[in-house]
Amino acid sequence: MTTTTIIMCAVCMTIPLCGILAAIVPYLQRRTEVFAVTVPSVAQDDVYVKGLKRKYAVIMLTVTVVLTLACAMAAYAQRPLVLFVLLIGGTFALMFVSYGLMLFYRRRMVLYKKERGWVAQSQQSVASLGAEPEGFPRGLSLKWNLLYIPVIVVTVAIAAVGYSSMPELVSMHIGFDGAVDGWAQKSVGVVLFPVLLEAFVAIILTFCHWQMFASKAWKEPGAPASSAWAYGMFVRANSIVLVGGGVLLTMAMGIAFELYIVGVIGIGAAVIATLVACAPMVVASIAVSVVYGQCGSRVFLRMQTSDAMLVDDDDHWKLGIFYWAPEDASLFVPERFGVGWTINCARPAAWAIFGGVVVLTVAFVAVSILMVG
């Protein structure tokens, strides 16, 4: 099996994985939210609400099947260019269809909420006083991100030892037909490019890890203790996947490509190593989303439901996914529709941090171009 074939097979799996995860998003949300609308937890058993979620899932799965079949046909016909176009277009299509359906069913939920008279009698909030008790689930310490350092050190050592045997021309790009169509002259910049890549990935993943701790923790007013415990388990699971998968991915991307650049292995082996390293992280991330749900909402599926609404913050969520709360000091909050975290758009500091990530990414691309030439 050629490298191109392996890459094409990996690409074909991307669409169904993304599509299936998007289709089950409504089932992963917190008990008091349906299509980014605050509802009493008893609404999860409502026939109308179940029907809306089922229709959303069926439409998303149908779109996923169509796109998957198109990708499979392109792969079978050995049309890599068409396949990659389908991958990019299909990924955006899934995003837009998912968001469009969410807005459509969100409007229906807003009307149904008014029809049922679901109104919060008060605006209760929950806060923690003091540290959590011993044994309370927590995410991995940020110190675990120091594991990236030995990976980078090993990569630098390989670059230093292998520089003398490094070929004068290094292929840096493979075309859609599997043929090499881009080379770079032997230089310190080229041999150290994998190190730069490792450092960039390590910084981004460390930021994502820090974001988990910087975010507002979810505590449901009706069940503060159990929801806090569930959220702690959710953060711990995500931090384990992020650190473990991140270190594995960084090792594959950096060390494997460094070995390729100095002439020890071929580019096919380096690409395959990276794809193999991606698989555990992707699978584990999906598993965590399905098992725990957003903020750990699926940890206690049998928690007692209630027809009372103790809080309603719909006004803070613009278009269902943009959190705007100037009075909230939190820079990050759990996502309203999806699994993960997002920024508080009303906080300038959150935008500054987001801008810093963008600047870092642009700087990485610019330096990469200068190093590789």
pLDDT in tens, 116-167: 988 876 555 555 544 565 667 888 999 999 999 999 999 999 999 888 888 8
Q: Looking at the domain assignment, is residue 87 inside a domain? A: yes
User: Which residue did the predictor score with more confidence, 347 or 174?
Assistant: 347
Length of the chain as a residue count? 373
The answer to whether residues 191 and 262 touch, using CB atoms and an 8 Å cutoff, is yes
pLDDT class of 178 with cuts at 50, 70, 90? low
Kindly report the backbone phi and psi dihedral angles of residue 273, in degrees, each rounded to the nearest multiple of 5, phi listed first: -60, -40
Three-class SS of residue 36? coil
Q: 239: closest CA among 277, 183, 195, 296? A: 296
User: Which residue did the predictor score with more confidence, 33 or 5?
Assistant: 33
**Which tens digit of pLDDT belongs to each residue from 230-265?**
889 999 999 999 999 999 989 888 898 888 888 888
Asked whether the predicted pLDDT for residue 215 surpasses 80, the reply is: yes
Domain count, the chain: 1
pLDDT of residue 306: 59
Kindly report the backbone phi and psi dihedral angles of residue 185, in degrees, each rounded to the nearest multiple of 5, phi listed first: -70, 145
Q: Looking at the domain assignment, is residue 55 inside a domain? A: yes
Q: Looking at the domain assignment, is residue 165 inside a domain? A: no
Q: Looking at the domain assignment, is residue 107 inside a domain? A: yes
pLDDT of residue 278: 83
pLDDT of residue 8: 66
Q: Looking at the domain assignment, is residue 106 inside a domain? A: yes
pLDDT of residue 130: 46
Q: What whole-number distance in Å separates Cα of residue 265 and Cα of residue 193?
A: 17
Q: Looking at the domain assignment, is residue 32 inside a domain? A: yes
**Which tens digit of pLDDT belongs to each residue from 317-342?**
888 889 999 988 889 999 988 888 99
Q: Which domain holds residue 14?
A: 1-119
Q: Looking at the domain assignment, is residue 67 inside a domain? A: yes
Three-class SS of residue 123? coil
Q: Looking at the domain assignment, is residue 152 inside a domain? A: no
| Enclosing H/E stretch for 369 | helix 348-372
| pTM for the full predicted model | 0.83
